[in-house]
Structure 1
């Protein structure tokens, strides 16, 4: 699960008896596996209070949110167990020192960019901004958008279903970044109810996007931590 276990007592109890799947716990932080369809944090309204952070805080009252995943996205999510650790992890995110990798299945067969880098990685470098008339949707906007970069590579092509499994590494952390960038390539994610046309939405019962890998240096021990979560699709 992790390369270089910190010298901190591991408290993790795998399973979802408390309504969440705990991958790792120590005195400083928690690593969780969020299912698709569950909010990461509470939304507006009584019907949007059930979420991963609330479920975790019922068992770990000191747990604090560090980052989020879209409701439709599954995979690994990190929480801190003190304000100082929350700040330290937040600083790692800001400095792009937390490695995140996603798996997605997209419509069609995207072509790698000219000058593809080592390992077959290509770069999507397209600025993103909120589409205010249709918020919370985002759009590509060269004039008003914030710089947004995503590395991607194809790992398997399924000619029978006209789809491709891709790995994604967001270099920036804009809302809906991966979904918007893949739509901009002309290859939206299967099951994407926000950015894919209806025929592509209908090809999967959920958004086929999963946060599959998380790596960082532990803010207390200084040891590398690496977690992997296979995509459930």
Structure 2
């Protein structure tokens, strides 16, 4: 919570005008809606209208978490063109689910503004090159301007950027490493289905894996979705018979309930750039960005 003390120079201004002046990073929010929701108080009291203020008044602002000077911004890599963050489960990449869910995009905007890098006029605004489910943790790549976003998006389309995930799955694949090959098709608004047989409208998908640790019941695996379709790593592991623990959409509901896991044991832990030469991404060619800061749900391997 932030307290704003009103002085003589602010007399006659409305609450929203004062909040915008003191906290310009909140200008993108619907401040009147925050007043009605009780997130902005006047002199310790709940209010429902955007009153004019007087000297000595105290405005209390309960700032959404993503606007609290980027408290959860875990920067793994940064240069003048891009930034890679290690996202925590429960944080949405783009598009707030509700006012209590932190949004990574808003944090990056605030970070760039604070660094003097943000400019809508010149196209220096962040763009998410990858998206992760709200309950998947790990590396998220943002371009800092439109030009590099287009270049990175094309590199993703051409599979010149490879992402690797670490996960805990039920069961253990027969071989220590290998590649699953199935077919992938949209099945409703938010879900995708994977099958060993070709279906109408389906496309072939390929996912590489490597077993890092196993007790026969659960396994820690490294997953690389070669074809990089939405939720491929989750849907493909389930179709192959090794569902990711904690996954509400593609997982084993009985196992999840028994283990008491609240979010999926899936983490985007590595980005590898194979961008080639003689292009604007040449300086990234051969670079690997990786994190070992992985906050999996607790699973007993004993």
Alpha-carbon offset, residue 48 of structure 1:
7.9
**1:86-97 matches, cutoff 5 A:** 86-97=149-160
**Which SS does the other structure have where 1:125 is aligned?**
strand
Alpha-carbon offset, residue 195 of structure 1:
1.2
Equivalent in the alignment of 2:238: 183
RCO higher in structure (CA 8 A, sep ≥6): 1
**Which SS does the other structure have where 2:169 is aligned?**
strand
Asked whether the 8 Å contact 2:90–2:102 carries over to 1, the reply is no
Alpha-carbon offset, residue 17 of structure 1:
4.5
**1:1-233 matches, cutoff 5 A:** 17-43=70-96, 46-47=98-99, 50-60=102-112, 61=118, 62-112=125-175, 120-132=176-188, 135-141=189-195, 142-143=198-199, 144-159=201-216, 162-202=217-257, 203=259, 204-216=261-273, 217=275, 219=281, 221-230=283-292, 231-233=294-296
**Which SS does the other structure have where 1:72 is aligned?**
coil
Q: 1:199/1:220 Cα in 2 relative to 1: closer, same or farther (>3 Å)?
A: same
Alpha-carbon offset, residue 95 of structure 1:
1.2
Equivalent-residue separation in structure 2 for 1:42 and 1:188 (angstroms): 27
Equivalent-residue separation in structure 2 for 1:220 and 1:98 (angstroms): 12
Asked whether the 8 Å contact 1:42–1:48 carries over to 2, the reply is no
Equivalent-residue separation in structure 1 for 2:252 and 2:283 (angstroms): 47
Equivalent-residue separation in structure 2 for 1:56 and 1:21 (angstroms): 11
Asked whether the 8 Å contact 1:42–1:54 carries over to 2, the reply is no
Equivalent-residue separation in structure 1 for 2:101 and 2:282 (angstroms): 32
Which structure has the larger Rg over C-alpha atoms? 2
Asked whether the 8 Å contact 1:56–1:63 carries over to 2, the reply is yes
Asked whether the 8 Å contact 2:166–2:222 carries over to 1, the reply is yes
Asked whether the 8 Å contact 1:42–1:50 carries over to 2, the reply is no
Alpha-carbon offset, residue 179 of structure 1:
0.8
Alpha-carbon offset, residue 127 of structure 1:
1.6
Asked whether the 8 Å contact 2:91–2:101 carries over to 1, the reply is no
- Give aligned pairs, total: 206
Alpha-carbon offset, residue 40 of structure 1:
1.1
